[in-house]
Amino acid sequence: MKENSGLKRTWLSFVVSFKEKMRNPILVSLILFLPAYFIFIAGRVMPEEEVFINHLGEMKEIGDVFQATFTPVTASLVTSIFGLYTVLEARDADKRLLISGYSSHELLLSRFGMIFAVGVLVSTFSLAIMMISFSPDNLPAFFMMVLLFSIIYGHIGVIIGTLMDKMAGVYTILLLITMDAGIFQSPIFLQEEPALWIRILPAYHPMNVVVETSFLDSIESIGHLALSLAVLFLVTILAVYIFWLRVKS
């Protein structure tokens, strides 16, 4: 009985927060429009040249590669900024909910549920826009990887939001995602075997799987997939722990 009411409260908190965000037309349009605009424009303006993809050992159209790799980047940017502000803006609300009888794990579920919901929304919309000019060979797996990317960075946003204020936090998120997912893991920019420090960044394994699902029917590097899930697991554990510590304090 008690468990049911706990679940109900968690669901209620999630629904109220979600409705509150979705009732803000500016926020909804930005969440959907900004990644879509980036992906759409990129699809239109890329030069008709080919680039060698180290991981696949073959040449691919630069526009296709850019869209395939920047769809998860844009989805991650939105989810991560959302994760950051989930922590920064919900501090007072969380305190009030705790006083009114919510437990810390109910709050955790509600807040992380919000990040997941935004991740699903942005990933779906970004993918739909990308498919106007590029279709990945393994669509379901590609979508799952875009979602995985956004959740990993959404949770990193939570970690950054707990440690920094908004200005340093937004800057760090943009720099981290742009440098890691956009530059270091991009087959367009990095044309040599990645150094060890690049291989331990969060986007390394997921980006390899993204490239495979974009241009191959099946996932051949099961190791990259397993390590992508491990990255998600580690980042989630860390974000949950840091958020839980903050709620407890």
Residue 31 as a binder of other proteins (CB under 8 A): the answer is: yes
Which amino acid is it at 101? G
Query: Which position among 1, 99, 167, 222 is part of the footprint of other proteins (CB under 8 A)?
Result: 167
Considering only the stretches 44-52, 99-107, 214-222, 224-232, report the one whose residues sit in contact with other proteins under the rule CB under 8 A: 44-52
Query: Which position among 6, 11, 18, 27 is part of the footprint of other proteins (CB under 8 A)?
Result: 27
Q: Nearest-5° angle of CA 80, CA 155, CA 3?
A: 130
Alpha helices in the chain (DSSP H): 2-22, 25-45, 62-89, 91-99, 104-130, 139-163, 166-177, 196-199, 204-215, 222-248
126 in helix, strand or coil?
helix
136 in helix, strand or coil?
coil
Query: Which position among 53, 65, 75, 81 is part of the footprint of other proteins (CB under 8 A)?
Result: 81
Q: Nearest-5° angle of CA 112, CA 118, CA 121?
A: 145
Tell how far CA 223 is from the center of its chain. 21
Residue 117 as a binder of other proteins (CB under 8 A): the answer is: no
* Residue nearer to other proteins on the CB measure, 106 or 180: 180
Distance CA 91, CA 183 (A): 34
Tell how far CA 70 is from the center of its chain. 12
How many residues touch other proteins (CB under 8 A)?
48
Q: Please, what is the minimum distance in Å from the beta carbon of residue 104 to other proteins?
A: 24
Residue 35 as a binder of other proteins (CB under 8 A): the answer is: yes
Residue 22 as a binder of other proteins (CB under 8 A): the answer is: no
Q: Please, what is the minimum distance in Å from the beta carbon of residue 179 to other proteins?
A: 5
Q: Nearest-5° angle of CA 36, CA 220, CA 153?
A: 40
In the complex, the residues that contact other proteins under the rule CB under 8 A are 24, 26-27, 30-31, 34-35, 37-38, 41-42, 44-47, 49, 62, 70, 73-74, 77-78, 81-82, 85, 88-89, 164-168, 170-175, 178-179, 182-184, 186, 189-192
